[in-house]
Structure 1
Amino acid sequence: MKKFFTAVLAMALLTALPGRAETIRIGFQKGGGLLTALKRQGAVEKAFAPSGTTVRWIEFPAGPQMLEALNAGSIDFGTTGAPPPIFAQAAGIDVVYVGAEPPPVASEAIIVKPDSPIRTVAQLKGKRIAFAKGSGSHLLLVAALNKAGLTLRDVKPIFLGPSEARAAFDGGSVDAWVVWDPYLAAAQKSYNARVVADYTGLLQANGFYLASRAFVQRSPRAVATLLEQIAQAGKWANAHREEMVAMMAPQVGVPPDVITTWLGRQTAGVMPMDAAIVANQQKVADLFYREKLIPRPVTIATQAWTWRRQ
């Protein structure tokens, strides 16, 4: 652990910003993976210390709220799933894609209770389904329904955040729940929840690191330094799962075995925004427009920033 953060600090010293000091405001979610780990260890603060730059961490319940804060100028940098920046673009928010995470397959799912008669996506027709509006779960549900020949108009969407949705799922007021890890892993442990569908065989959805246009234009080297921190943390995290579990369990507030399940279903890291990633995100945006979930088409390529790795 100590060797890892020493290496990260050494790399940061090579890339840290010269010039005037500033404050970088980073938005994160409770189940925010690498950002949660980096916040706990203070590695980002160490990276920017030589330049006098300070770091503030601001927690959000989900991606849409984070992007509202980005638009308002309350944060500079954050991470979300694929849908929130598309909804943000459609609302006129000038969000910039600066990096991408490997797309999840099994770390987000449509789940039902073990005694539910629902076993296929087609059987969701007419059912009450809880999910966070504008989140990655929104995309998963739309993509799964689309493959089954259905749309959101064929089900009864119940827009709830993870905490409220868990209560609704527990109390039986919804028939299914679409959610991401670690909430998914926790539900599987608590309820023996059964997966109806995950991203297997569907349009893939990257996670994204996002920044305000003002931050990218003002401090491109700071953006690159943040991404290098995340990349190095990802390499270490993939090779040291047990230590990641021990680090994240108290921070996220769920049992270690839930964190183990979550981390075992994903590959940590960050990649530059290349043509393939941009094209895939454009497919997500086009799907949302066809389904009338956004009021106008959006273009991803104009919002992508190229990270040139050291």
Structure 2
Amino acid sequence: MSLGNHIALSRRHALGLGLGAAAASLLPPEQARAAIPAGTVLKVGDQKGGVQSVIEAAGLLSDLPYRIEWSQFPSAAPLLEALNAGAIEVGYAGDAPTTFALAAGTAAKIIGAVRSNPQSTTILVPGASPIRSVADLKGKTIGTGRGSIGHYLVLASLKANGLKPDDVKIAFLLPSDAKSALAAGSVDAWSSWGIYVSQALLVDGARAVVTGTGLMSGLSYQSATLDAIATKREALVDLIRRFAAARLWALENSNAYADIWAKTVGVDPAIARHTFGVERARPVALDGAVIAEQQATSDLWREFGIIPKRLDAAAIFDPSFNGALPA
């Protein structure tokens, strides 16, 4: 269900909800808007609760100088497959699956970044499970998406606790299937993120065994195809600027955003508030620290044979889009 069918906040309404001066300063200047050719269309891939929801909730989609064709995906893997196939031109996904895709040869670069609290990625077990620690996962089956941030957390937590990947069995499943498998007892644990974790903890009675705190960067990226970077740069800059402004608005108005989001997708507001209260996502520049953290993520993928060769993280970033962020 499209968020656009349910939310049509005006910019004045967004300002009334507390769009701060820092966020307002990110709104597209008229000169930049005028540089976007008439008739421009951006094909944007998104995930549940991602780019579209926050920009729309902040009231920043009402005056676009181009048209967006939104495609919603259940997780990063199919989104990045669509990016590779050219079905979308820009998409939002976590650092781990983005590494996985770009290492496989997707003709794209990272043009924007958001950092969230790594705690929002979690390995979950049923409340009555005897599993209490990572060590207890030995010999068990964990459901998660291949190349996802959940997959990364499994490998990172095993390494941190002196275990090897073959000490567990990983069942590669989409989030909805992994949720069902955990409820049915087909898997012993589920490594997931964001809204899925909040629902499992607050509604399903699941329990966290380990989170990404200290094990993951919490970075997510906007990646664009090389063709879109070459031919639609102005529109991409505008999209990043709006997304950054919306993220700043959501930080200042976390409960307001959560309540809007919950009503739109039909979940308990407490679940949305928990999700966004933990994530605290904020835009960050593509700087040396981000590139170094991305290199560490890439190196872990390589260490465990998830990608075939070492990836030079610096080569997959385009820092020239940093100008869309506040100074």
Going from structure 1 to structure 2, the CA distance change for 1:116 and 1:308 (only over 3 Å counts) comes to closer
Q: Tell me, yes or no, if structure 1 residue 23 matches structure 2 residue 48.
A: no
User: SS at 1:78's partner residue?
Assistant: strand
Aligned match of 1:2: 14
User: Contact 2:118–2:216 at 8 Å: present in 1 too?
Assistant: no
Unmatched runs of 5 consecutive residues or more in structure 2: 1-12
SS in 1 for 2:186: coil
Give me the TM-score of the superposition, normalised by structure 2. Answer: 0.87
Corresponding residue of 1:159: 172
Q: Distance in 1 between matches of 2:316 and 2:28?
A: 28
1:252 aligns with 265
- Of 11-20 and 204-213, deviating more is 11-20
In the alignment, structure 1 residue 176 sits paired with structure 2 residue 193: no
Deviation at 1:197, TM superposition (A): 0.5
1:106 to 110, 114, 119: 119
Which stretch has the larger CA shift, 300-309 or 164-173?
A: 300-309
CA shift, 1:10, in A, is 5.3
* 1:118 maps onto 2:136 in alignment: no
The answer to whether the 8 A contact 1:12-1:47 is kept is no
The RMSD of aligned alpha carbons is 2.0
Query: Which of 280, 288, 292 is matched with 2:301 structurally?
Result: 288
Corresponding residue number in structure 1 for 2:278: 265
Partner Cα separation in structure 2 for residue 22 and residue 145 of structure 1: 46
The Cα of 1:7 is off from its aligned counterpart by 4.5
Asked if 2 retains the 8 angstrom alpha-carbon contact of 1:8 and 1:43, the reply is no
Asked whether 1:133 is paired with 2:150, we answer no
Query: Structure 2 residue aligned with 1:94, among 107, 115, 123?
Result: 107
* 1:14 to partner: Cα distance: 4.2
2:52 alignment partner, one of 28, 32, 35:
35
Indicate conservation of the 8 Å contact 1:131/1:179, yes or no.
yes
TM-fit CA distance, 1:11: 2.9
- Cα distance in 2, alignment partners of residues 135 and 160 from structure 1: 10
Following TM superposition, by how much is the alpha carbon of 1:76 offset from its aligned partner in structure 2, in angstroms?
A: 1.2
Report the count of equivalent residues.
305
Q: Is the 8 Å Cα contact of residues 40 and 251 (structure 1) preserved in structure 2?
A: no
How far is the alpha carbon of 1:233 from its aligned partner? 0.6
Question: Shift in Å at residue 226 of structure 1?
Answer: 0.9
**Partner SS for 1:100:** strand
**Aligned-partner residue type, residue 41 of structure 2:** T
Letter in structure 2 aligned against 1:231: A
* Cα distance change, pair 200–268 in 1 and its aligned pair in 2 (3 A): closer
2:24 pairs with 1:11: no
Q: Taking structure 1 as reference, are residues 65 and 82 closer, same or farther at Cα in structure 2, changes over 3 Å only?
A: same
Instruction: Describe the shift of the 1:304–1:233 C-alpha distance in structure 2 as closer, same or farther (beyond 3 A).
Output: same
Q: Is the 8 A contact 2:125 2:207 kept in 1?
A: yes
Structure 1 position 79, deviation (Å): 0.6
In structure 2, relative to structure 1, the CA distance for the partners of 1:302 and 1:114 (3 Å cut) is: same
Contact 1:98 1:272 in 2 (8 A): no
Deviates more, 1:243-252 or 1:283-292: 243-252
Query: Which residue of structure 2 lines up, in the alignment, with residue 147 of structure 1?
Result: 160
Q: One-letter code of the match for 1:309?
A: G
CA distance in 1, matches of 2:172, 2:144: 5
Q: Which residue of 1 aligns with 2:81?
A: 68
List per-residue Cα deviations over 1:203-251 (Å, max 9, x = no partner). 4241111111111121222221111101111111111122101211133
Q: Report the alpha carbon displacement of residue 12 of structure 1 after superposing the two structures with TM.
A: 5.0
Q: CA deviation at 1:268?
A: 2.5
Structure 1 contact 100–207 (Cα < 8 Å) conserved: yes
Q: Give the counterpart letter for 2:36 in structure 1.
A: P
1:155 is aligned with what amino acid? V
For 1:228, the equivalent position in structure 2 comes to: 241
2:101, 2:295 → 1: CA distance? 14
Partner residue in 2 for 1:308: 322
Secondary structure of residue in 2 paired with 1:44: coil
